[in-house]
Amino acid sequence: MIKNLKRYTLFILLCCWLTVLSAQPKYEVRAVWLTTLGGLDWPKNYAHDGMGIERQKEDLCRILDQLKAINVNTVLFQTRVRATTTYPSDLEPWEGSLSGVPGKTPCYDPLQFAIDECHRRGMEIHAWVVAIPIGKWNTTGCKWVRSRYPSLVKRIGEEGYMNPEAYGTANYIANICEEITTRYDIDGIHLDYIRYPETWKGSMNHENITRIVRRVNERVKIHKPWVKMSCSPIGKSGDLSRYRSNGWNAYSRVRQDAQGWLREGLMDQLYPMMYFSGNNFYPFAIDWQEQSYGRMIISGLGTYMLHPRERNWPLNEVKRQLSVTRDLGIGHCHFRTKFLLDNVKGIYDHMLKNDRYPALIPPMTWAQSIAPTAPTQLQIERTSKGDNLRWSGATDRSDGPYLLYNVYASTEEQVDITKAENLIATRYFKQQLSIRRHQQQRPLHYAITAIDRYGNESAPIYSDTKKPIVMAASSELLTNNGKLLTVPQRNLFDADLLVVCDMQGRTVKTFTNRPQLNISQLPEGMYQLKSLHKKGYSHRLGTFSIKRK
């Protein structure tokens, strides 16, 4: 927990210094929550017949096309709604928003269709699983669970909830997540409402919620360790020294130890629901990032608050939040999709500029850090209609099932793959691509990289035999024993500070300049070491790997 406002200021300054060179980063999670509950975001019609099915599919494709146009790279697709599902489950009944009748099949598999269409557009899709609420007491999902597992269900007023204090609840929710993971080529499991209800009466225990998270993690990762585990905690973890949560926070109010889940390695990403403004947002955003333990933090933005029937926020509020979180190295996720695509107060127009270029999702280096080998062959056929690219030869060195590819292009002969503006295709499945161009345009130069399911990117193969000059540090890793890191004495240039960053360049920890750094509190993984000077310029000193026995 942050103890001093000065640390807030220092952290912001350091982030600004380190992001000066890239207004739009190459690595950033850009996400949306796509709600199927009641068809709030989708679907808008029922699949009564073949025409209804086609309209649902067309509407979803239209939504995904609009999201792709603003370079969204992650879709959180609501898969378990209220003990009802948007896929053919052996464990729970169908969600009623699809066919119009709860428990009735829509005669196609919406989750599989969504996966295929997201992957076709180079997007990740995470199965959004609502964990604890199971709907009104006499609705289809709630009756289904309580008729079969009455000891797992608790009634509060007219609502039914999975009982977090019942040991069987962890297995029940883990079974659903395991079913989704083993059946589908998803990229993540996203747990929503993984907490005590705010209306809960009686004692509450953090371990009851953590037990569910731990069980889900075990059952997902044993099958597919590259599948990201994430959740959406309350937007404030707890009280800060100068800023209070006003009684509504994750840790003490609803027993979500979300930062502890990061520390324990149970979560790869957090999407805190930060639907606040001013000092209820910014200090808490810094707190989430400082306690990230090298994992990904994605701020849940209250985009819906722009609507006049909600809080009627001015657009500048969300614009400031996007700017600050980008400086902090935090991604962003819009709640909800409909408000974003409806362009409420011009938010969609702003995202066209804010996220003008594509971004890659940061790699899960804590789970797997060995990148694929680069493609070895690249052929380009230049025609009157454009360029046809074909490549091959990359080798996956992870346990994932297949490789994906990133394609870079530039009119400059030396294609710079560190620049987001040079990305023209991300997470591309095929090994061939046609690019429409006019003969009058300057010829493009290309670079192709492979990425594994963990997000590790290979070295590139270039379209030109003359390879770009790459200014790289020594290939030797900096020396450490898991507790102390030896700082190389070359090229320090009287640095004021030394900054440890993750492999995406996000600040993890800052030290004053000294011969050895205490890294005992950093989790295992790959890191960069940079020097930082008062005037804001920095030098990369090398990389190091922390691996403890």
Where residue 494 falls among pLDDT bands split at 50, 70, 90? low
Please list, in sequence order, all residues whose beta carbon lies within 8 angstroms of the beta carbon of residue 110, skipping any fewer than 6 positions away: 36, 43, 56, 60, 86, 87, 98
- Give me the pLDDT at residue 17, please: 38
For every residue of 523-549, DSSP letters joined together read: PSEEEEEEEE-TTS-EEEEEEEEE---
Where residue 221 falls among pLDDT bands split at 50, 70, 90? very high
- For residue 187, pLDDT over 90 is answered with yes
The domain 377-462 is placed in CATH, from the list 2.40.128.130, 3.40.50.150, 3.40.228.10, 2.60.40.10, at 2.60.40.10
Cβ(114)–Cβ(75) below 8 Å: yes
- Give me the pLDDT at residue 524, please: 83
- Give me the pLDDT at residue 521, please: 85
Task: Locate 183 and state its tokens.
Answer: 């059946």
Comma-separated ranges of CATH 2.60.40.10 domains in the chain? 377-462
- For residue 474, pLDDT over 50 is answered with no
CB atoms within 10 A of CB 69: 12
194 secondary structure, DSSP code? -
Apex 186 CA angle, 168 and 546, nearest 5 = 85
- Give me the pLDDT at residue 489, please: 67
Range name among 219-228, 338-347, 429-438 with the lowest pLDDT average: 429-438
Q: What is the mean pLDDT of the chain?
A: 91
Cβ(160)–Cβ(138) below 8 Å: no
- Give me the pLDDT at residue 506, please: 73
| Cα radius of gyration rounded to whole Å, the chain | 24
Is pLDDT larger for residue 525 or for residue 186?
186
- For residue 544, pLDDT over 60 is answered with yes
Q: Which fold has domain 484-546?
A: Immunoglobulin-like (2.60.40)
- For residue 65, pLDDT over 80 is answered with yes
Where residue 529 falls among pLDDT bands split at 50, 70, 90? confident
Handedness of CA 285, 288, 291, 292 (dihedral sign): negative
Comma-separated ranges of CATH 3.20.20.80 domains in the chain? 30-355
- Give me the pLDDT at residue 538, please: 64
Cα–Cα distance for residue pair 403/231, rounded to 1 Å: 26
- For residue 449, pLDDT over 70 is answered with yes
Mean pLDDT score, 222-239? 98
- For residue 5, pLDDT over 50 is answered with no
Range name among 240-249, 364-373, 452-461, 504-513 with the lowest pLDDT average: 504-513
Cα–Cα distance for residue pair 133/158, rounded to 1 Å: 12
Where residue 473 falls among pLDDT bands split at 50, 70, 90? very low
- For residue 543, pLDDT over 70 is answered with yes
Mean pLDDT score, 398-413? 96
pLDDT in tens, 67-94: 999 999 999 999 999 999 999 999 999 9
Task: Locate 156 and state its tokens.
Answer: 């509060």
CB atoms within 10 A of CB 309: 6
Apex 479 CA angle, 370 and 395, nearest 5 = 15
- What CATH number does the domain located at 30-355 have? 3.20.20.80
Cβ(110)–Cβ(34) below 8 Å: no
- Give me the pLDDT at residue 249, please: 97
- For residue 11, pLDDT over 80 is answered with no
